[in-house]
Structure 1
């Protein structure tokens, strides 16, 4: 049995979405996104006190990129993953791991807008810089979906994969801070992949990290 340790509206949503796309049994152990992630029992699963963590066959994993690669190679090497022989293998690896590039900027914005509770702790300049970096990541996805010959429906020419899940979940988080108004191909792709039943199953069933749909940037004085 696979057990996923998951906190809503965190990177572990990426692994939850992936598992819902796979035809494998699993269970979810919900964790609060708080200081209990530093409890000694949880640190045996994830030494840095982060989600996700995964237990499978008596072994433990953490880090979403590693979890994605392992699960795809084991359970879905050619549908959600891409085998080493696939022409899209290189692109698959790039985009699965690109999701972390986007997520790190979203994490910085989450810290500024949500985690730092007192206004004097927050920096409008950091907010502006990190939002601009998110927009640059959107530029990269827009370019990938818009080729000179044709527009891709998904990040890979061969179709939907875990690359779309990984980047799509990162976009789900970043949209709390930066809209897709200036990126029409990303918006169309995002609408396409989030129409999937597995995405909807991975959405929070109750409270998550965010208490609103969008956090407007602070003005720089």
Structure 2
């Protein structure tokens, strides 16, 4: 039984998003996101990313973005931390026939959202529990799935769940649409004790666990 990705809505951590890519290796995913192919750290845990000296902001310079990359099944993935810019690069990441799905967990605002790119095109995206607003080259691509899951009416303009439904129940239902469509799965260990190589993709983080 796979772990799926719906469990991510219950995750309280400090990752900024997860990018899934089909058709490229984890190493190539890291490169397309801005990483140095020869600059990976030793495999580290989610908690150890905090020892890489990530700075969110510095005067007149980029903040730091770091990813940890791995694979599961037919999908590579990258967990983003700090000011990683995966969301700005989805079309580029998906070039040459690759497919890319990005899940961004809920912040204070905007809400959690999902995005899909394919072969160099940002195809579609929507906010979880804000599914009536959809965007991209094919904004209604997931509409049949959202209707079948009981999220939206067939015209895509009306929410079907009751207004008093628990917020996270709605998040799980909506994220489940993407999980099932693409067969996405991520082990909870990735955000626990699993060790994966990390890459700097923005700014100048200190890519070593040594603290002098």
Higher percent of residues as strand: 2
Give the alignment's TM-score, normalised by structure 1. Answer: 0.33
1 or 2 for the larger relative contact order (CA 8 Å, sep ≥6)?
A: 2
Higher percent of residues as helix: 1
